[in-house]
Amino acid sequence: MSNVVAVTDATFEQEVEKNDGLTIVDFWAVWCGPCRVIAPILDQLATEYEGKLKVAKLDVDANIKTSSRFNVRSIPTLLFFKNGKVVDQIIGALPKTNIEQKITQHTASQQTA
């Protein structure tokens, strides 16, 4: 997990909600096939957007409190946080281009603000 940060119930607030800028949190589980499909895509995006974007992963089986708090019912779920607030989501394993569109959408409004 190159530039991807593993977060837990205990570290979620500090790593995600107190982070300025855009953070993508990947809610995943070890047994989830589609989660394994998007993991390398998220690694690539974390590297390509280093300094502009933070990518975090939260294991739903080990961190039930945070998963329940954000009403995560299906995995993978990607929640997009901007300055600590949820601004978007993707449910399911979508292609890299779909994820990049969301990143561009939320980082573009960051630059104009």
d(CA 6, CA 1): 8
Question: Residue 40: which residues within 8 A CB-CB, separation 6 or more?
Answer: none
Active-site residues, by number, are 32, 35
3-state secondary structure string across 53-67: EEEEEEECCCCHHHH
Pick the CATH number of 4-104 from 3.20.20.80, 3.40.50.2000, 3.40.30.10, 3.40.50.720: 3.40.30.10
Q: Please list the pLDDT of the chain residue by residue as tens digits (113 residues).
A: 468 999 999 999 999 999 999 999 999 999 999 999 999 999 999 999 999 999 999 999 999 999 999 999 999 999 999 999 999 999 999 999 999 999 999 987 545 44
Classify residue 74 by its DSSP letter. Answer: S
Q: Do 18 and 68 contact (CB within 8 A), yes or no?
A: no
pTM (2 decimals)? 0.93
Spans of all domains in the chain: 4-104
